[in-house]
Amino acid sequence: MVMPVLGYSHIQLEWQLPEWRNWYERLAEKRKVIRYDGRGGGLSDRNVIDFSLDSHVRDLEAVVDRLGLERFVLFGILHSGPAAIAYAADHPKRVSHLILWCTYARASDYYEAPEIPGMLALVDKDWRLFTEMVANMVLGWSAGEETRQFADYMRETITPEVMRHAWSAIFDYDVATMLEDVQSPTLVLHRRGIRWLTADMAKGLASRIPRASLNLMEGASSLPFEEDVLTAIRDFLGEGEETAAAPGLTADDIRTILFTDVEGSTALTQRLGDAKAREVLREHERIVREALRAHGGSEVKTMGDGFMASFPSATRALECAIAMQ
C-alpha cells in the first residue's frame, strides 16, 4: 500500500510520467501495488478542509476495509509518514512491514528548517512561485527541466485553498509517542543531501522504532522514484537472491539467526570483579540492542553474556555483527 503525499498526489498524471510509471511497474513485478489519492488532491474531491492526522488514518482504514486486506506492506512518504506510523501502531496484525521514506515523527521538527516559513508565505501571494520553490526543494535545486515539469504537475494536483488548509493541519502532526508501539519490521529510507529534512531526523526516527533499520542514501531528491529505492525495498522484504533460491518459500519463511558471545567473560569477571564486570556487560547489552534496532534485527532471547537474534536476511545479520564489534 503506497500512501499519497499531500500536494504531490495524482494517480492519473503519475501514470503518464514515464519515469514514475516505470518505477510503479517495477515495484509491482512481484506484488500487488495499491495506490490511492488522498483527500483534497489528485482525483479526490477538492472541497475538503479537514486534514488532521486522524482524517488521513481514517482514509487509509477505509481503503483497507473496502479492499478486504488482511495483511500488507505499508509505504508512507513525506507527510503521509506520520499517518503510516499511527496506523501501524494501532494495527500491528495488519501491517507486515512498514517503509518510511523521507518523513518525520513531529511536524514541528520539519518546520524548523529555514526554507519552510518563506515557502509557505508564498501560497497566497504567488502560487506559481510557491510550486516552483517546492519543486526545487523536492528535487534538490539542480534538476532543470524536471523542476519545471514537477511544478506544473503540482499545480494540477491541488489548489492554493486546499494547500493552505493542509499546511495548517500538518503543523500539529506528532506521533513521537507512538513510535515504540510499532511492532512491524520497519525500514527508514532517507537521502543525506536533503537540507530541509535532515539525516539526524531520520536517525532519530529509526532509533525509536523497536524493529527499525535505517538506510541513508546519497542524493538530495525527496521523491522515491529511483532504482536505489527499489533495491532497498526488495532487500528489506527479502526478495533478493536468498528468496529466489527457494521458490516455494515467502520472505517471512526465511530468517537468518545470529548468536553473540563475549569471549573470555569468566576471565573478565575474575580480573575486574563482579560489579565492574557487570557494568561492562550492561554496556555490551546496550551496544548489541542498538545495533539490532539499526539493522532490522529482532532479539529472540539473552543467554548469559550472549544474544540470540533473528534477521530477514544474511546481509543484515553480517552488517549488524560488524557494527557490534
pLDDT of residue 255: 83
pLDDT of residue 21: 92
- The Cα 175–Cα 314 span in angstroms is 32
- The Cα 41–Cα 51 span in angstroms is 11
By the 10 Å C-beta count (0-12 exposed, 13-18 middle, 19+ buried), 314 is classed as: middle
Question: Going from the N-terminus, what domains does the chain have, and what CATH number goes with each?
Answer: 11-244 (3.40.50.1820), 255-324 (3.30.70.1230)
> 3-class SS at 217?
strand
- The Cα 200–Cα 311 span in angstroms is 25
- The distance of Cα 304 from the centroid of its chain, to the nearest Å, equals 35
pLDDT of residue 242: 43
- The Cα 218–Cα 240 span in angstroms is 21
DSSP per-residue string spanning 47-115: ------HHHHHHHHHHHHHHHT-SSEEEEEEGGGHHHHHHHHHH-TTTEEEEEEES--SBHHHHHTSTH
pLDDT of residue 246: 43
Low-confidence ranges of the chain (pLDDT < 50): 241-247
pLDDT tens digits, 158-181: 999 998 898 889 889 999 999 999
pLDDT of residue 69: 95
Helix residue ranges, H only, 248-312: 265-272, 274-294
Length of the chain: 325
Q: Taking Cα atoms as reference points, which of 88, 200, 195 lies closest to residue 138?
A: 195
> Global pTM?
0.71
**Phi and psi angles of residue 114, each rounded to the nearest 5 degrees, phi first:** -65, -25
Residue 156 CB coordination number (10 Å): 12
pLDDT of residue 248: 53
Question: What distance, in Å, lies between the first and last C-alpha atoms of the chain?
Answer: 37
Q: Taking Cα atoms as reference points, which of 139, 149, 131, 185 lies closest to residue 296?
A: 185
Would you state the cell numbers that stand for residue 92, as one nine-digit string? 500491528
- The Cα 1–Cα 135 span in angstroms is 25
